Amino acid sequence: MEKLVIRGGAVLSGTVRIGGMKNAALPILYACVLVKGKCVIENVPDVRDVTMSIDILKDMGAKITRTAPTTYEIDCTDVRPGTSRPELVRKLRASYYLLGAELGRFHKAHVSLPGGCNFGGKRPIDQHIKGFEALGAKVTVETDEETESGSVDCDAPDGIIGDDVFFDTVTVGGTMNIMLAAVTGKGNTMIENAAREPHIVDLANFLNTCGAKISGAGTDVIKIRGVKELHGSTYAIIPDMIEAGTYMIAAAATDGCVKIENVIPKHLEAITAKLEDVGVIVEELDDAVIVTGRGQVNATRLKTRPYPGFPTDMHPQMSAMLTRAHGTSIVVEGVYENRFKYAEELKKMGADITVNGHTAVISEVDALHGAEVEAVDLRAGVAMVIAGLIAEGETTITNIVYIERGYDDIVGKLTALGADIKKIDD
Ligand code: UD1
């Protein structure tokens, strides 16, 4: 079993380059299913969720060539709906984008129920389904509770017919899935209470370069004028704000000074503001930020919210840093039902965390100490990396496959910044 071994205490310094955004790359890869023709997608991160998605698309008949380390040529002219391998699709939550993409292209979809990170609470897709139904699809969900497997079938024999979709809750995946289903539908679709994340804008921009007519992405009302078909295009994915934020926190937590390159500083504003709040210096350049620690950080209160609020995908990393903050911090999860499974792992390292419902109270301890801990999900896993960097002694992280789902070459990047981290095969 592969593990990460970290000897804490290094002060990070130097420059790290951020890759393309995983959560933009995934829907854009699945969006290629809508296109009869060749798309060239650049700045695709080399992470497991991407390689699994490429395999899923190849299984369905897509012709895919990796022409450079971060560039893929994708031709989905000959893909067949309902042919994705269930065992692969279930490993990956983002494979639910196949529902919208197959529905848009073929007016029917059959996809196994999504897997991916289990944060400890429910992750329903009722809003996606409600949206597909509003666009004229009949949706059937089959679940087998014993085997925890299941599938979703969508059928729109009269085609996708544009309509208003109002989300009861702000959902990133739901917003993207409805965009995918509606772009080649008949008439106009309006998504209200839409998510506003930068990756929503990225998907809209990609689809628009392929001939779609989407406006309003980045606001809570997105309008889609259906077009007959999409054509191929060349498109570069935006930088990953969560990868960038993770290195920002790693720099701050180790009291280091790191330049984080190839970022869009505007996307990082909530993270920057919170770091400044705890006493860290963040300098914004055109496409980089420089994070400089100023000794022990201060405690803070934070609540995660949909963009432009503080991202839920950043709170485990922040909690890891706050274990060593001066005073008592309060971290409230405002997006998911539960996302604190990592607290038990941090406690193994000596952290003082009490979780009550959506709230974690993190009290100052003199030091974290190295321990064997588990990556319980993707961002929880990288929080363990940050904890390992600031702990005394050696930390071993198991189940690192989660971390590799979303972080390209984290060992190489942290080593270049001076961290003592290695991957071992035990
Ligand atoms: C995406 C990201 C994930 C991130 C999340 C929020 C991907 C692959 N994953 O997940 O990393 O943490 O956005 O920024 O891009 N909900 C419902 N019904 C639905 C859909 C969602 O109740 O039909 C709820 C969810 O349970 C959750 C909240 O809405 O409480 C937000 O979920 P959503 O934005 O949909 O997250 P994902 O798109 O799954």
28 and 135 fall within a common domain? yes
- Residue 14 structure tokens: 């130097």
Count Cβ atoms below 10 Å from residue 135 Cβ, excluding itself. Answer: 25
For a substitution probing ligand 1, which of 129, 169, 342 has the most ligand atoms within 8 Å of its CB?
A: 169
Domain enclosing residue 292, as ranges: 2-19+239-425
Which residue, by CA, sits nearest to atom 26 of ligand 1? 123
Count Cβ atoms below 10 Å from residue 294 Cβ, excluding itself. Answer: 12
Q: Is residue 227 predicted with pLDDT exceeding 80?
A: yes
Residues 401-416, mean pLDDT to the nearest whole number: 97
Domain boundary among 209, 236, 263: 236
Which residue, by CA, sits nearest to atom 31 of ligand 1? 171
Q: Counting atoms of ligand 1 from 1, which one is nearest the CA of 126?
A: 23
HSE, CB side, 13 Å, CA atoms: give it for residue 210.
30
- Tell me phi and psi for residue 87, to 5 degrees: -65, -25
Q: Counting atoms of ligand 1 from 1, which one is nearest the CA of 242?
A: 11
pLDDT in tens, 150-197: 789 999 999 999 999 999 999 999 999 999 999 999 999 999 999 999
The stretches of 296-355 forming alpha helices (DSSP H) are 315-322, 342-348
170 and 270 fall within a common domain? no
Q: Name the one residue in this structure whose structure tokens are 């023709």.
A: 37
- Quote the pLDDT of residue 116: 47
The torsion defined by the Cα of 101, 178, 196 and 208, in degrees rounded to 10, comes to 60
Domain boundary among 197, 221, 236: 236
Please report, for the domain that includes residue 154, its CATH number. Answer: 3.65.10.10
300 and 410 fall within a common domain? yes
Q: How far is the CA of 176 from the centre of ligand 1 (A)?
A: 11
Q: Counting atoms of ligand 1 from 1, which one is nearest the CA of 116?
A: 8
For a substitution probing ligand 1, which of 125, 141, 167, 172 has the most ligand atoms within 8 Å of its CB?
A: 172
Q: How far is the CA of 374 from the centre of ligand 1 (A)?
A: 23
221 and 261 fall within a common domain? no
- Residue 159 structure tokens: 């085609």
- Quote the pLDDT of residue 118: 54
Identify the three-state secondary structure at position 220.
coil
Which residue, by CA, sits nearest to atom 29 of ligand 1? 171
230 and 245 fall within a common domain? no
The stretches of 239-367 forming alpha helices (DSSP H) are 241-253, 269-277, 315-322, 342-348
Which residue, by CA, sits nearest to atom 8 of ligand 1? 94
10 and 155 fall within a common domain? no
- Residue 401 structure tokens: 């496959």
Q: Is residue 117 predicted with pLDDT exceeding 50?
A: no
pLDDT in tens, 285-294: 999 999 999 9
- 4 band by pLDDT with thresholds 50, 70 and 90: very high
- Residue 69 structure tokens: 């380390």
Query: What 8-state DSSP symbol labels residue 279?
Result: T
280 and 194 fall within a common domain? no
Q: How far is the CA of 175 from the centre of ligand 1 (A)?
A: 10
Q: What is the pTM of this model?
A: 0.96
96 and 155 fall within a common domain? yes
Q: How many domains does the chain have?
A: 2
77 and 55 fall within a common domain? yes
- Quote the pLDDT of residue 173: 96
Q: How far is the CA of 173 from the centre of ligand 1 (A)?
A: 6
Residues with CB under 6 A from ligand 1: 23, 26, 93-94, 123-128, 169, 171-174, 195, 312-313, 335-336
- Quote the pLDDT of residue 411: 98
- Mean pLDDT over all residues of the chain? 95
Active-site residue 154, yes or no?
A: no
- Residue 206 structure tokens: 């990609």
Cα gap 395→124, rounded to integer Å: 34
- Quote the pLDDT of residue 146: 65
Cα gap 421→7, rounded to integer Å: 7
Domain boundary among 187, 218, 236: 236
215 and 66 fall within a common domain? yes
Q: Are 317 and 386 in contact (CB under 8 A)?
A: yes
Extended beta strands in 76-137, E state: 108-112
403 and 333 fall within a common domain? yes
Which residue, by CA, sits nearest to atom 17 of ligand 1? 124
The stretches of 222-373 forming alpha helices (DSSP H) are 241-253, 269-277, 315-322, 342-348
Q: Is residue 404 predicted with pLDDT exceeding 50?
A: yes
Amino acid identity, position 169: T
Cα gap 292→278, rounded to integer Å: 12
Query: Catalytic one among 32, 39, 76, 117?
Result: 117
